[in-house]
């Protein structure tokens, strides 16, 4: 799947981005919970599962649509595509 250069992305772009946002939200909430419940093994297992899920989602997104983060946190393809819009934080 390739991204469209016109600034309009296909449905998969938005689907993956939404799943990433949902996973990130759950990870933040679990992180906050674990700050006050550090021995909750079920919450730790759920957190670790979501970390793996997020990693796979990010890989799939970046393979199809480009990097999610810059400054060495994501791989980029040639050509450099940071100027392709919309950017993940603009959606």
Q: Where are the domains of the chain?
A: 11-79
Q: Return phi, psi of residue 28, to 5°.
A: -65, -45
Pull the structure tokens for residue 80: 């450099």
Q: What is the pLDDT of residues 10-47, one digit of tens each?
A: 899 999 999 999 999 999 999 999 999 999 999 999 99
pTM over 0.85: no
Pull the structure tokens for residue 3: 């991204």
């Amino acid at each position: 799947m390739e991204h469209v250069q016109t600034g309009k992305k296909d449905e998969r772009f938005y689907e993956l981005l939404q799943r990433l946002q949902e996973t990130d939200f759950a990870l933040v909430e679990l992180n906050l919970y674990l700050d006050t419940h550090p021995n909750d093994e079920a919450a730790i297992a759920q957190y670790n599962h979501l970390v793996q899920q997020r990693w796979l989602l990010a890989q799939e997104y970046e393979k199809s649509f480009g990097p999610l983060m810059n400054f060495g946190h994501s791989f980029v393809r040639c050509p450099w595509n940071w100027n392709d819009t919309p950017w993940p934080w603009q959606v």
